[in-house]
Amino acid sequence: MCQLLGLNCATPTDATFSFTGFCQRGGATDQHADGWGIAFFEGKGLRLFVDHHSAAASPMADFLRHYPLKSTNIIAHVRKATVGQVSLENAHPFARELWGRHWVFAHNGDLKDYQPRLHSHFQPVGSTDSERAFCWIMQELSKSHAGVPSVAELTLTLRELVPQIRQFGSFNFLLSNGEALWAHCSTKLYYLVRQHPFHQATLMDQDWTVDFAQVNQPGDRAAVIVTQPLTKDEQWIAFEPNELKVFVDGLPQ
């Protein structure tokens, strides 16, 4: 299975600490060595980096660990291939445009015999069940709303759509349009909120401790969503099975 990492923040924040630990799971401390990717929203823009090589050994991943891009919404993924070959077009996250905004999606799980009916506008480039599911979600969102919906309206629509995919297998995912971040747990997902008063944290997969009180201001806040907890000294909250949460400004809504 793959692993997911998402950050939703009140102020632009870099993912260097979390991404460094997360990358080790892409072939060093775990077996997710079949590609990786990370997406950073910047205003209306999007920086998307994907690679079909191991994250733990990727020069691009190493560059990003030392080049702290800041964003209020970040989605990362390390892949263990189950459906679709190991190739660049099958590396998550995937991105599409809808209502003049970038949308980004990453999936952990396995959908059996999932072949949704897709219209011409949203078609997969690669061969994964994940990208097919993303295309179908985008298609159905565009059919459900005549104009740009609010975060609350989008959440209600997603609550109706997700069970139609979940019946085909495990469907843990992260989805963002740069305004909010949606996280769905089918089998396993955790989150925490880092906010004032900040404390120190130590990565599980690498020997690195950060005192967040030294690098944050009182108004900073970040929700971190992961498949497996990244740190050994923070209180991670488990999602309930089949739970969909939306995060805005670093808080679950």
* Sheet strands (E) in 99-196: 101-108, 172-176, 181-185, 190-195
Catalytic annotation on 2? yes
Please answer whether residues 241 and 187 qualify as being in contact, where contact means their C-beta atoms are separated by less than 8 angstroms.
yes
Alpha-carbon distance values, 42 to 14, 70, 72, 217 (Å): 12, 8, 8, 20
User: Residue 101: how many CB atoms within 10 A of its CB?
Assistant: 15
Burial 16-39 (b: 16+ CB within 10 A, else e): bbbbbbbbbbbbbebebbbbbbbb
Residue from 2, 9, 23, 135 carrying the catalytic annotation: 2
Tokens representing 242?
A: 């089949």
DSSP code at position 231: B
Task: List the one residue out of 112, 71, 114, 108 whose CA is nearest residue 93.
Answer: 108
* Residues annotated catalytic, as ranges: 2
